Homo-oligomer: A and B are copies of this chain.
Amino acid sequence: MQKKVTHELNPNVSVDCVIFGFDLEKLTVLLIDRGQQTQHGPRLALPGNLIYNDETLDQAANRVLDELAGINDIYLEQVGAFGDPNRICKDADREWLQTIRAEPEARVITVAYYSLVKMSDYSPHASSFAKTAGWAPVSEIFELAFDHFEILQAAKDKLRQKIKIQPIGFNLLPEKFTLSQLHKLYESILDKPLDKRNFRRKVQKIGIVTALKEKQRGVPHKPSLLYKFNEEKYEALSKNGYDNFDF
A154: nearest chain-B partner, CB-CB: B78
In contact, B78 and A81 (Cβ under 8 angstroms): yes
**In contact, A5 and B89 (Cβ under 8 angstroms):** yes
Query: In chain A between 201 and 234, which residues have their CB closer than 8 angstroms to a CB of chain B?
Result: none
- Please list the residues of chain A having a beta carbon within 8 angstroms of any beta carbon in chain B: 1, 3-5, 10-13, 51, 53-57, 78, 80-86, 89, 91, 105, 107, 109, 111, 161, 165
Contacts of A107 in B (CB 8 A): 5, 10, 53-54
From A84, which residue of chain B is reached at the shortest CB distance? B56
CB within 8 Å for A83 and B109 given contacts A5-B89, A12-B10: no
Shortest beta-carbon distance, A238 to chain B, in Å? 15
In the assembled complex, how far is the CB of residue A67 from the closest CB belonging to chain B, in whole angstroms?
18
**Which residues does chain B contribute within 8 Å of A3, judged by CB atoms?**
89, 105
Q: What 15 new A-B contacts, CB under 8 Å, besides A5-B107, A78-B81, A161-B161? A: A1-B91, A3-B105, A5-B85, A5-B86, A10-B12, A12-B12, A12-B13, A13-B83, A51-B83, A53-B85, A54-B107, A56-B84, A57-B82, A78-B80, A109-B111
